Amino acid sequence: MAVTPPVCDFNWPAPDFSLPATDGKTYNLADVAGPNGTLVMFICNHCPYVLAVLDRILRDAKQLQGLGIGVVAINSNDAAAYPDDSFDNMVKMATSKGFTFPYLYDEDQSVARAYDAACTPDFYGFNATGGLQYRGRLDASTRTAGPTDLRRDLFDAMVQVGELGKGPEAQIASMGCSIKWKV
């Protein structure tokens, strides 16, 4: 079932976290923050919305990192109910796809709750001082990737955040599969 999260609550402070990553390290917000801002993404391994645009996410993340934007991905799904989202499968995905950013496991779902994450993918763009400036979509793709020439909403917004410290006023919410909460 598709879920659409709310759009940006400007200057909402980024909640800290301490989570294990697929590279064997543990990261907190300061570890992943960039000098020009930080992109926190809630993704997972099985969601068709994520899989449809994963190559675009990886492209944009790498380019944003080159502009001083820190990038991190977090998987908060219930792996007992969705085995494709297990930590071992996260390691496989991060390795096979060549993630250039930490991929973190939020096993107890506390970080997803702190961020009020709604779906995968769910994107949070923070400025250099940790204030939320973007909570919107990657682009106009849905369960299938749209044309390659779609406007890059997330990328363009994060470039603006990096340069000006403020995100665009007009933002279109992301859409994806609901976070798979534990019962």
- Bridge partners of 178? 119
In angstroms, the CA 62 to CA 141 distance is 19
Residue 35 lies in a domain: yes
In angstroms, the CA 119 to CA 124 distance is 12
pLDDT digits (tens, 9 = 90+) for 82-113: 999 999 999 999 999 999 999 999 999 999 99
In angstroms, the CA 35 to CA 68 distance is 6
In angstroms, the CA 51 to CA 58 distance is 11
Range of the domain at 147: 2-178
pLDDT digits (tens, 9 = 90+) for 54-64: 999 999 999 99
Tell me the three state secondary structure of residue 122: strand
Number of domains present in the structure of the chain: 1
Residue 2 banded pLDDT, cuts 50, 70, 90: confident
pLDDT at 122: 97
Which CATH number do you get for residue 104?
A: 3.40.30.10
Residue 154 lies in a domain: yes
pLDDT at 5: 80
Q: Three-state SS string across 123-167, please? A: EEEECCCCEEEECCCCCCCCCCCCCCCCCCHHHHHHHHHHHHCCC
DSSP string, 32-52: H-BTTBEEEEE--SS-HHHHH
Mean pLDDT throughout 67-72?
98
Residue 4 banded pLDDT, cuts 50, 70, 90: confident
pLDDT at 7: 77
| 10: CB partners within 8 A, 6+ apart | 131, 132, 133, 167
Residue 117 banded pLDDT, cuts 50, 70, 90: very high
Mean pLDDT throughout 76-80?
98
Burial class (CB in 10 A: 0-12, 13-18, 19+), 105: buried
pLDDT beyond 90 at 70: yes
Residue 183 lies in a domain: no
pLDDT digits (tens, 9 = 90+) for 119-159: 999 999 999 999 999 999 999 999 999 998 999 999 999 99
Give the pTM: 0.96
Mean pLDDT over all residues of the chain? 96
pLDDT beyond 90 at 3: no
pLDDT at 150: 94
pLDDT beyond 90 at 1: no
Mean pLDDT throughout 68-74?
98
pLDDT at 109: 98
